[in-house]
Amino acid sequence: MAAIVTLTVGFTAGCGGARPVPTPGVLEIAEGPKTSAFTRNFNPLLEAGDMRWPARGSMYEPLLIWNPITGQYVPWLAQSFSFSDDHLRLVFTLRHGVQWSDGQPFGAADVAFTFELLRTHPALDVLGVGEYLRAARAVGDDTVAFDFTRPFVPGLEDISAYPIVPAHIWKDVADPLTFANPNPIGTGPFTEVTSFQPQAYRIERNPRYWGGPPAIQALHVRAYPANDQSIMAIVNGEVDWAGDFIPAVKRIHVGRDPVHHHYWFPALDATVAFYANTTVAPFGDARVRKALSMTIDRARLVMVAMHDYTHPSDGTGLSDAHERYRDPAAVAAGQAWVTHDPAGAERLFAEAGLLRGADGWRRTPDGARFAPTIVVPVGFSDWVVASQVIARGLRAAGVDVTMRTLDYNAWNDSVQKGEFDLSMGWTLYSNTPYTFYRGLMSRQSVKPVGQDASDNWHRLAIPEADRELTALEETVDPEKQMRLYHALEMVFAREAPAIPLFPGPLWGTFNDKRFTGFPSENNPYAPLSPNLFPQALLVLTRLLPR
């Protein structure tokens, strides 16, 4: 499909014709998931369904918004928070004077109600706060206390991110799991659904917004049945704000109107890694994993598979979103095995007993040819290309690797069950590196082969990492946290549990012909991507019509 996109988009550069003209003061947004007909679903807790963008982008708000650019929480519905000394209680002080869009006051009871809803409906609790949350209760109008079953400081991240729904409306909802919430009442800046058609909808501003009435009149979202359709619209200037991947963005998008068309693709998303299943010999040996890594020409991989929109990972595996946690000592310690170094790979393979036979292919110590398989989901064109680059490097190093493209679900099944040799994969993203390292190295995340695992597909537990991770669950001291993260980075650099390739870019484009104030490389106050919740609120409340 990517080729088709390039072709068609390249062609349009020369044509005009009658294109829809956006209404002044109405921000045109391209929703993330593509569809040809919208379902009127504004249930912000129903992430699993076909939720409309504004439900979490502009209608319902969380207690705090994490800003990955500054590495700080931005107070939102809550003004401050604190942990008790034993880390078993988290208390939020709420913003005073916030109203729901129907005029009712917002308060601690709403917050407590929302989390009670998650506790009684586990299907809504996609982040899993039920694992450690005993109860959420209102202490007065403006204070909410969360009691934990065990100390779990990283829980702050998930609790503060859930959208809060109004108790006075939702208490009458029979089944929140099938509730489409067609006429939403929220605290956010844009809440009034004034028009809803299968092909487009419009959300007017909330005059009662606690941050003051938004400067923009309304949001307008059109249905784009496929990515190439939305890219067309973005390039033609029909869309003000979008989070789509665009090939050759400088030529195709910026080139159309260098003054107004902009993009910003910072590498703030989760790291993409190459996994070697440690339950399959010889991948349990860290030397083999490092040798694999040294055969990979990452610079080339990033160029051909990612259009140079990102850069190679270092030996800590951290994404750019975690820049402030990066320890130069750990980076140095891991530098050798993330550098393209065929001679070094040769040495490590030899140390691990994987010697080349007379035909040039490596043998395992028991004499069998070392011939692992890389599985890759069909249709993930960037991963297919990346896997090809990796396979080429491995074959040059004498590893008789084959590539197998699988149907997406078959691939998903095999990696989750740990029934594969080698595969590309994503890593977990969170505000701090805690979840990232937990999913790659903790005993907690290891499942037996044959059982579905959402992370740790390679099935590796490192006891030392578990000690640091547990310590992180029990401290709010920033200095101590930093020491523990640095220690985890050292473990990662030493053990190479997964082979980091590159941090994923966050796609974001904007057209400032009619609106100003978008974040950009020069004004990086928040990530640009509208697909990132709840961070989109940071942008929506800053935009101004020209």
- Which residues are at the interface with other proteins (CB under 8 A)? 4, 7-8, 11-12, 15-18, 20, 35-37, 39, 41, 43, 46-50, 121-128, 130-131, 177-180, 195, 197-200, 222-226, 229, 232, 270, 407-410, 412-413, 416, 426, 428-430, 435, 439, 452, 454-455
Distance of CA 254 to the CA centre of its chain: 25
The token duo for 489 is 């980075």
User: What is 408-471 written as a DSSP string?
Assistant: HHHHHHHHHTT--SEEEEE----SSTHHHHHHHH-GGG---TTS--SS-TT----HHHHHHHHH
CB 277 within 8 A of CB 429: no
CB 317 within 8 A of CB 273: yes
- Look-up of token digits 């009458």: 172
The least CB distance from residue 421 to other proteins, in Å, is 19
Is the Cβ of residue 124 or residue 252 nearer to other proteins in the bound state? 124
Contacts of 21 (CB under 8 A, 6+ apart): none
Distance CA 282, CA 522 (A): 47
Of 368, 379, 198, 364, give the one whose Cα is nearest residue 285.
364
CB 194 within 8 A of CB 218: yes
The least CB distance from residue 351 to other proteins, in Å, is 33
Is the Cβ of residue 280 or residue 440 nearer to other proteins in the bound state? 440
Is the Cβ of residue 146 or residue 349 nearer to other proteins in the bound state? 146
Of 429, 158, 463, give the one whose Cα is nearest residue 320.
429
The least CB distance from residue 413 to other proteins, in Å, is 5
Q: Residue 534: is the preceding peptide bond cis (ω within 30°)?
A: yes
SS3 call for 166: coil
For residue 351, the surrounding DSSP H or E stretch is: helix 342-351
For residue 16, the surrounding DSSP H or E stretch is: none
Is the Cβ of residue 287 or residue 458 nearer to other proteins in the bound state? 458
The least CB distance from residue 386 to other proteins, in Å, is 17
Is the Cβ of residue 161 or residue 330 nearer to other proteins in the bound state? 161
| Rg, Å, the chain Cα set | 25
Query: Max alpha carbon distance in the chain (Å)?
Result: 80
Is the Cβ of residue 130 or residue 247 nearer to other proteins in the bound state? 130
The least CB distance from residue 454 to other proteins, in Å, is 4
Is the Cβ of residue 48 or residue 332 nearer to other proteins in the bound state? 48
Is the Cβ of residue 115 or residue 518 nearer to other proteins in the bound state? 115
The least CB distance from residue 156 to other proteins, in Å, is 16
Distance CA 235, CA 5 (A): 12
Q: What is the dihedral of CA 94, 95, 96, 97, to 10 degrees?
A: -120
User: How many Cβ atoms from other residues are within 10 Å of residue 492's Cβ?
Assistant: 26
The least CB distance from residue 410 to other proteins, in Å, is 4
The least CB distance from residue 222 to other proteins, in Å, is 5
The token duo for 339 is 């550098």
The least CB distance from residue 512 to other proteins, in Å, is 23
The least CB distance from residue 433 to other proteins, in Å, is 15
Distance CA 15, CA 30 (A): 22
CB 524 within 8 A of CB 539: no
CB 514 within 8 A of CB 228: no
Alpha helices for 50-175 (secondary structure H)? 53-54, 108-120, 155-159, 167-170
The token duo for 490 is 């050292």
